[in-house]
Amino acid sequence: MHEELVRENAHTVVRPRGGDASDKTEALVEYILQFGKYKGKSFRWLLENDVRYVIYLVKNQQKEGAAGVFMAEGHSKDSLQSFVSYALSFKEIRSLLTYESQKPVAAAASEDEQLVGFGSCATNTWREIWDSRDDGYAAFIRKKSCVPGTKMHKLQEYLQKKHQLLSGMNHPSHTSTEAMVMDEDEELERAMLSISPSKQSTQTFSSCLCPCCSQPSTQHHRGHHSVVDIP
C-alpha cells in the first residue's frame, strides 16, 4: 500500500473519534504496517504487543542507516522508516535502547551457543538453526543479502562455514586418496627391503620344496640356488 493511502486510511480513523488528523504522531498511531511478520497490524498494536520486536526493528534500521544500506525497498521501506520514527517518539523506547546498548553481553561458550537474536527464531542457538537445516531456514539465511556486522550477517557466516565443512567431508579430494595409496606402496617397499638376501633365498627355497619330501637332497638344493639370483 502506498504511503499516501496509508496516511489517508489513518486519517479516516482519527477524525471520527475527534482526533487531530494534522497531528502526525496521532495519525501514525493508526498507520498500517507494510512489512514483516505483523504486516496489516497498526503501529499502535505492534508497540503494545511486541516491544522486543520493536527494539529489534529500531536497532536494525539504525545499523542499516549507518552502513548506508537498506534491505527494505519501496512501500516496505517507507513503512519501516515511519514506524521507527513513531517508536522513537516514546521516551520508554528510547530508554530501552539506551539500556540495551549499555548492557554487558555475556560471552557464549562457543559459536554454536550464540543466540540468533532476531525474527521468529530469536531464542534459538546457531547450532539449532544448523541442525534443523532441512526446514529450509538455514539455506534462506545463507542466500540472504545482509548488512555486515548485523546478527543476520554473523549467523550467515557461521552457516556458510558449516556448509563448506560438510561439503568437504562429502567430497574427499582425489589427491588425498592418491597420497594414501602412495604411503601404502612405500610401506610395502620398506618391508620388502628389510628382508635380508639369506632370508629371501631360504623362503623361496622352502616354498619350492615337494610336499612329500621332508629333507631336500643336496642336488636339489644346489639346483634351486642356481635359479635364485643372490647378490
Q: What is the pLDDT of residues 93-115, one digit of tens each?
A: 999 999 988 877 655 568 888 88
How many independent structural domains does the chain possess?
A: 3
Residues 49 and 140 in one domain: no
Q: What is the pLDDT of residues 15-58, one digit of tens each?
A: 777 776 667 777 888 888 998 889 999 999 999 999 999 999 99
User: Per the structure block, which three cell numbers stand in for 123?
Assistant: 531464542
CB neighbours of 183 closer than 8 A, spacing ≥ 6?
none
Contact 80, 61 (CB under 8 A): yes
Residues 84 and 118 in one domain: no
Collapsed DSSP state (helix, strand, coil) of residue 80: helix
What's the rounded Cα separation, in Å, for the pair 224 and 206?
Answer: 10
pLDDT band at 72 (very low <50, low <70, confident <90, very high): low
User: Considering 103, 127, 161, which residue would you say is the last residue of a domain?
Assistant: 103
82-88-90-95 Cα dihedral, nearest 10 degrees: 160
Residues 36 and 95 in one domain: yes
DSSP code at position 31? P
> Read out DSSP for 82-145?
HHHHHHTTSHHHHHHHHHHHHSPPPPPSSGGG-B--SGGGTTSBHHHHHHTGGGSHHHHHHHS-
pLDDT band at 158 (very low <50, low <70, confident <90, very high): very high
Residues 218 and 149 in one domain: no
Residues 162 and 197 in one domain: no
Residues 3 and 98 in one domain: yes
Range of the domain at 56: 1-103
Give the distance between the most distant pair of CA atoms in the chain.
129
Residues 126 and 163 in one domain: yes
Residues 129 and 57 in one domain: no
Residues 84 and 146 in one domain: no
Residues 87 and 131 in one domain: no
| pLDDT above 60: residue 203 | no
- Look at residue 46 in the predicted model and tell me its pLDDT: 95
User: Considering 57, 78, 103, which residue would you say is the last residue of a domain?
Assistant: 103
Collapsed DSSP state (helix, strand, coil) of residue 32: strand
Residues 74 and 142 in one domain: no
What's the rounded Cα separation, in Å, for the pair 219 and 65?
Answer: 100
Which of 149-180 are b and which e, b meaning 16 or more Cβ less than 10 Å from the residue's Cβ?
ebbbbbbbebbeebeeeeeeeeeeeeeeeeee
Residues 166 and 203 in one domain: no
Asked whether the whole model's pTM tops 0.85, one would answer no
